[in-house]
Structure 1
Amino acid sequence: MLKAYALWELPLVKSLVVVMLAFTAYYLLRVKLFSRLAQICESTQSDLDDRVLYFARNLLSIFIIFFTLMTILNIYHIEISPLLAGAGIFGVSLALAARETLTDVLAGVFLIADRPVKIGDRIKIQSIGGHWGSWGDVVDIGLRRTCIRNTDGVSINYPNNQLSNSIITNFSDNKSPIRVRIRFQVDFEADIDLIREKVLELLDKNPRVLSGTGSLVVRSIGDDHDQSCVSTISLEARYRITQIRKRTEIRSEILEELLKVMKENNIPQPRLALEHAQQASPQ
């Protein structure tokens, strides 16, 4: 018994025990627990959980190695306070040097945790880093950057920090039909009843527009904002669709039909200010 106690007092024996306990904890957590979690992640369609699991596995390895090293140093009565202080100073310096990277990583963690967007979602970014964003599909969400393929087929990698500070509209989460608006102007002498009849007729004929959702409203009467035209009536055609990814295509179809209707029915367009001035001037 005394010999066993004497052996336990040896720093080398204590160190070996600590290493064995560390390997046991590593085996139980990473091999057993994380292997089971990996099987669950493989059964899901999204790869976000796989990324989080990979990040957690690496973080666990770093924590076990650090804890084991600090314990062994303490066994040999090596003062670890200066080492911890030095590690803290090094960590602060590293954080300052890689501030933007760490900010992107933290923003990526929040994006993964909050899940405002998912891979495959159709989103609209109102602004990104002070610049206007655009429509696009989420292709990949990483810890530092999120890849979005816009409607032109171009893949753009946005820093997660800027993406998290932007206003994002997720149309894939919207289960109800969305409303689309088309604004146009006509002359003050135009027949509004005729225009409303023709607009509602062309909206009802489009199979991709929900039946009964078309409408025409008058937005304003008078000069336009840039004062290039006078005696104008600003109109807005409204309708609802369910095919969100076809929004631009459907809108283009309706604009083409609207242009044909206006030409066929001789609907007068707003007159230019110069033309109006010439007509108003005495001969």
Structure 2
Amino acid sequence: MKWIAGLFLALTMSAFAHAQEAPRPQKVDDLVRLLQDPEVRSWLEKAPGPSSIAVEEVDAGLATWEEATRSRIDGVVQAVPRIPGEFMAAAFRTRADALSHGKLPVFVVFLGLTAVGLFAEWMFARLRRHAEGLQERLLAIGVFAAAMGVVFFAFDWPARPRIVLLVWLLALLAYRTVAALIEAAVLTSSARRRAKGFAGVAVIAIAAASLGQPLSIDPAATEAISFCFSIALLALAVEGAVSSSERPLGTRISMCLAFVVIWALWCVGLHGLFWLGVYAMALPAVLRFTGRAAAEAFPFEPDSTKRVLLVRGSRAVVVAAAAVWLALVWRFDPNSLVHSDHVVAAISYGLLKSVVVLLLADLAWHLARSWIDRRLTVSPGLAVDASQAARQGRLRTLLPIFRNVLAVMVAVVAGLIVLAELGVEIGPLIAGAGIFGVALGFGSQTLVKDVVSGVFYLLDDAFRVGEYIQAKSYKGTVEGFSLRSVRLRHHRGPVFTVPFGELGAVENMSRDWVIDKFRVNVSYDADIEKARKLAKKIGEELKADPELGPLFIEPLKMKGVEEFGDYGIVLSFAMTTVPGMQTYIRRKAYAKIREAFKANGIDFATPSVQVGGDARDSAAAVATAIRTQQAKGVAEEA
């Protein structure tokens, strides 16, 4: 072979090159002599290479698995007729062991312990006087288990009867717990009955299989018992799939085929694939059932953190337990694929770890989102003072942005951890993301400007959700934010989506308080003092009004004479109100001032033009009056 000749040439050249530096060891001479031997060289040329050895190992592995599976199935088939004999022999041994130590038979003791537990549960139900919810039923089962446990551990039992009693008591508790959970789920009566039957058979099968070794039952008979129970479980599963008339016919046939394939995987010893199939079929329904049962057992508010933690946490525990069990099965199953290749093993265990990481990320995100949503649903009207109202407004402004940022952070961090668990080097990804971010920043300076401007607007608390602002030609009520823009609802209906970088100076018209000033023109012969008293009285009436009073900070007052106009005296009025209500209050004040002035003989000024004999002077007077009227109209519009 070529690699043998190359090895021989390399050894020869190395020996020649170092001959002058140090004496050659004897082992090197022996190796060179062996390689020069014609028989050794002939055997090395005919020896199989590494690839053929690997193929032979794979073939040997497949043959070993096929032979082990065939022998296992043959042993199970041959052991089926011996199941009654093995069972009776184990029962006689257990009975004899119990009687030899002066104890009652195991079956009688089991019935007695069950009776004690049921009596304690009945007493607990009488004390509680109600046991309707799942929480009450679970508490009753806990009392049942505690009573049996106290009696069981109060006596010294022989070894074999003790194991049998313990296993069957645990099986009874497990079945009662599962049955209570099934009762709490929103299921039809027929589906509930089938689920309880399946759970009962599964619990008995697990208990019987676990008692095989302690009772000295032949392992082949134990496997045969498990095989018979597996056929019963398969029949129940197929019957449940066929009888579910609400599903289409194709779905029912697919479910039956899937159940048969999963059962066949268990029969041939492929436990890893078997549990994968079980989880694929049962996990969605189990997760829905777990969430409903947890919500039924602990009825908290729908959006409360406790409810989210309980429902999501219970589902996460179910998925994590499934992942841990699958990892244990892969670890201890010699026929598992993860033992054949280290790459497959790394990917498989990485996927299981990734499931746990995603569960933790999902739980953390839903907890944070529920807290943020609850804070956003708090009504600002519940605040008792201005500081609390301002804090609520600031929270309603900042929390939606924080929620979006948190969602992105959780998704990115969880994704990086998952890639790391799958064996992907995330260092280059992070470095590449940094370079891409720099390039994106240079290429989208406007976007960066909008985002940075928005951050500083929020840090300065320039505006909040629900406030009315004006910036350049945009004005309206702030309805919401994104990372780069603000959404303004104009008082006439249109919606402006304005990038933060386009806002500039912001005029906030809804912060803290508003001073509203307006003017009223009265005739020159009006009584100013009387007008002042009337204005004060109107202000007190508005302040005492149950609808308008809470909107005032300072009542309506007349400031005095503002100026002498062309047609009358200009009186100035002012009031301080909460933001956004000044226009509504001013309209009410206008109506009351009109009625009060009219009832008390105070006339409003009206434009008038006096025309003299001189035509030129009269024309000039008319032009002056027109210009004055136009100027006042422009001022009032401004």
Question: Into which bin does the TM-score normalised by the smaller protein fall?
Answer: 0.5 to 0.7
CA distance in structure 2 between the aligned counterparts of 1:115 and 1:28, rounded to whole angstroms: 36
Q: Alignment partner for residue 202 of structure 1, among 535, 538, 553? A: 538
TM-score, length-scaled by structure 1 = 0.61
Does the 8 Å CA contact 1:18/1:72 hold for their aligned counterparts? no
Does the 8 Å CA contact 1:95/1:102 hold for their aligned counterparts? yes
Bigger Cα Rg? 2
* Structure 2 residue aligned with 1:91: 437
Match status 1:45 vs 2:376: yes
* Structure 2 residue aligned with 1:148: 488
Shift, 1:16, TM fit: 5.6
CA distance in structure 2 between the aligned counterparts of 1:113 and 1:166, rounded to whole angstroms: 14
* Structure 1 residue aligned with 2:54: none
* Structure 1 residue aligned with 2:572: 236
Shift, 1:112, TM fit: 6.0
Matched residue SS, 2:446: helix
* Structure 2 residue aligned with 1:31: 362
Q: Which amino acid aligns with 1:140?
A: G
Gaps in structure 1 of 5+ consecutive residues: 1-10, 223-228
Shift, 1:251, TM fit: 0.9
Equivalence map 1:66-215=2 (5 Å): 68=419, 72-73=424-425, 84=431, 90-109=436-455, 117-119=463-465, 121=466, 123-125=467-469, 127-128=470-471, 130-131=472-473, 133-134=475-476, 136=477, 138-163=478-503, 165-171=505-511, 174=512, 178-186=514-522, 190-206=526-542, 207=545, 208=548, 213-215=555-557
Does the 8 Å CA contact 1:186/1:270 hold for their aligned counterparts? no
* Structure 1 residue aligned with 2:201: none
CA distance in structure 2 between the aligned counterparts of 1:211 and 1:50, rounded to whole angstroms: 32
Gaps in structure 2 of 5+ consecutive residues: 1-341, 378-395, 611-616, 623-638
| Alpha carbons of structure 1 residues 114 and 30: separation in structure 2 relative to 1, 3 Å | farther
| Alpha carbons of structure 1 residues 178 and 74: separation in structure 2 relative to 1, 3 Å | closer
CA distance in structure 1 between the aligned counterparts of 2:361 and 2:414, rounded to whole angstroms: 11
CA distance in structure 1 between the aligned counterparts of 2:505 and 2:353, rounded to whole angstroms: 41
Q: Which amino acid aligns with 2:555?
A: T
- Percentage identity across paired residues of the two chains: 17
* Structure 1 residue aligned with 2:589: 254
Matched residue SS, 2:603: coil
Q: Which amino acid aligns with 2:527?
A: D
Shift, 1:182, TM fit: 1.7
TM-score, length-scaled by structure 2 = 0.31
User: For each residue in 1:105-126, what CA deviation from the matched residue of structure 2 results, as whole angstroms up to 9, or x when unmatched?
Assistant: 344455667766554x3x232x
| Alpha carbons of structure 1 residues 164 and 61: separation in structure 2 relative to 1, 3 Å | farther
CA distance in structure 2 between the aligned counterparts of 1:57 and 1:30, rounded to whole angstroms: 10
| Number of equivalenced pairs | 246
CA distance in structure 2 between the aligned counterparts of 1:88 and 1:275, rounded to whole angstroms: 81
Q: Which amino acid aligns with 2:484?
A: R
* Structure 2 residue aligned with 1:3: none
Matched residue SS, 2:375: coil
Shift, 1:153, TM fit: 4.1
Shift, 1:239, TM fit: 2.7
Which has a greater percent of helix? 2
| Alpha carbons of structure 1 residues 115 and 267: separation in structure 2 relative to 1, 3 Å | closer
Q: Alignment partner for residue 603 of structure 2, among 247, 255, 266? A: 266
Matched residue SS, 2:376: coil
Matched residue SS, 1:213: strand
| Alpha carbons of structure 1 residues 201 and 146: separation in structure 2 relative to 1, 3 Å | same
User: For each residue in 1:224-265, what CA deviation from the matched residue of structure 2 results, as whole angstroms up to 9, or x when unmatched?
Assistant: xxxxx54864432123445x5543222112223434555652
Matched residue SS, 1:143: coil
User: Comparing 248-257 with 202-211, which one deviates more in the overlay?
Assistant: 202-211
Shift, 1:151, TM fit: 3.3
| Alpha carbons of structure 1 residues 232 and 100: separation in structure 2 relative to 1, 3 Å | farther
Superposition RMSD on alpha carbons, in Å? 4.7
Q: Which amino acid aligns with 1:266?
A: D
Does the 8 Å CA contact 2:486/2:499 hold for their aligned counterparts? yes
| Alpha carbons of structure 1 residues 276 and 212: separation in structure 2 relative to 1, 3 Å | farther
Does the 8 Å CA contact 2:523/2:605 hold for their aligned counterparts? yes
Matched residue SS, 2:605: coil
Higher RCO by CA contacts (8 Å cutoff, separation 6 or greater)? 1
Which has a greater percent of strand? 1
Match status 1:58 vs 2:408: yes
CA distance in structure 2 between the aligned counterparts of 1:60 and 1:43, rounded to whole angstroms: 20
Does the 8 Å CA contact 2:523/2:568 hold for their aligned counterparts? yes
